[in-house]
Amino acid sequence: MSSAGAVDLSVKIGALRLRNPILAASGTFGYGLEFSHLVDLNRLGGFVTKGLSREPIEGAPAPRLYPTASGMLNAVGLQNVGVRAFVAEKLPVLRKFDTAVIANVFGYTLEDYVEVIRVLEDAEGLAGYELNISCPNVKKGGMQFGSDPTCVAEVVSAARKAAAKRPLWVKLSPLVTDIGLIARSAEEAGVDALTVANTYPAMALDFRSGKSCLGNPTGGLSGPAIKPITLKLVWETKKAVKTPIIGLGGIEAVEDVLEYLAVGASAVQVGTASFADPRASQRLVEDLTKVLFEAKLFTLSEIRDKFVTENG
Ligand SMILES: Cc1cc2nc3c(=O)[nH]c(=O)nc-3n(C[C@H](O)[C@H](O)[C@H](O)COP(=O)(O)O)c2cc1C
């Protein structure tokens, strides 16, 4: 092998083969199209869309983003165009690209999740679904779907039945007592992959005015500050299940990608890093290719699970 271009970065996530293990994360990459003049979407392993709901959602009041030490808070309020507008207006353009488009799906009831998937099932051009279960379950007093193994089993089983055509990934909430328990519940309900994890509930305020720095009282923390915590969650999930894991949280550099792979992730997603550098995901594909070429490791297999093999 004589050039970096010949390095094989392809990975399999269940039945789905990706060109490489780097995807852009939900909510940080719009519907992909907003980035297509800056990033060569065809170079990515894929990307996950902004969360899609049954009806359009206007979202939270400004400010929606607030920088914190080594991280960022957001309270976007799950703003999105709604699943029908996504299918009518965004998907036809996305079909022109040769990249895996994963639709991120959320709802406030089981029926919401099922209905969003039902609409997407009739459309062409998607590689799979990712369920965001860090949402309040209105029929259970607002408790997050993702915080209770029984609720997780219910929402995943319902989504699994609706998602007959395509792989189903579930994005776990990091704020749980035992992530292994939640992961097993999702595995038994038939998911194809687990995305670990979402943002951490957090807050920032101005003590003089007594006001939140966001339009909402609280938000979700992301970025480098969360990487060590999420890395541990990926390892714990790996020890609990056989299902492939997609790791994300604070990835900025190629070393971060390799650490996630070493603790058991099969692929990764890049979120907050795209705010500082919209080309972050493509740059990481290029850096990963270079690192593997220079190290004379022509596949990822020598790095994947290395920490798990060494430490159990
Ligand atoms: C502004 C913003 C919006 C987000 N919107 C969503 C969303 O709609 N659905 C979802 O599952 N995750 C959403 N996330 C979470 C990210 O996909 C990711 O899980 C999290 O930010 C941690 O990764 P990072 O540290 O690389 O950003 C959002 C994150 C940010 C920063």
Full DSSP string of 213-258 = SSSSS-EEEESGGGHHHHHHHHHHHHHH--S-EEE-SS--SHHHHH
Mean pLDDT of the region 2-30: 90
Q: Which of 25, 135, 214, 251 is catalytic?
A: 135
* CA 309 centroid distance within chain: 25
Mean pLDDT of the region 109-114: 97
Does 40 score more than 80 pLDDT?
yes
168, 131 Cβ separation under 8 angstroms: yes
Alpha carbon of 298 to ligand 1 centroid (Å): 31
Alpha carbon of 198 to ligand 1 centroid (Å): 6
Mention every residue, 6+ apart, whose C-beta is less than 8 A from residue 199: 74, 134, 174, 219, 220, 221, 222, 226
Residue of the CA atom closest to atom 6 of ligand 1: 27
User: What is the C-alpha to C-alpha distance for residues 14 and 188, in angstroms, rounded to an integer?
Assistant: 15
Alpha carbon of 220 to ligand 1 centroid (Å): 8
For position 2, what pLDDT does the model report? 53
Residue of the CA atom closest to atom 8 of ligand 1: 51
Largest Cα span, the chain? 62
For position 297, what pLDDT does the model report? 66
pLDDT digits (tens, 9 = 90+) for 79-99: 999 999 999 999 999 999 999
Question: Active-site residue 151, yes or no?
Answer: no
The minimum-distance atom of ligand 1 relative to the CA of 132 is 11
pLDDT digits (tens, 9 = 90+) for 223-255: 999 999 999 999 999 999 999 999 999 999 999
In this prediction, residue 139 has a pLDDT band, given cuts at 50, 70 and 90, of: confident
C-alpha distance across the termini of the chain, in Å: 33
pLDDT digits (tens, 9 = 90+) for 51-68: 999 999 999 999 999 999
For position 133, what pLDDT does the model report? 97
Calculate the dihedral angle through the C-alpha atoms of 265, 268, 272, 273, rounding to the nearest 10 degrees.
120
Q: Model's pTM, two decimal places?
A: 0.97
Does 20 score more than 60 pLDDT?
yes
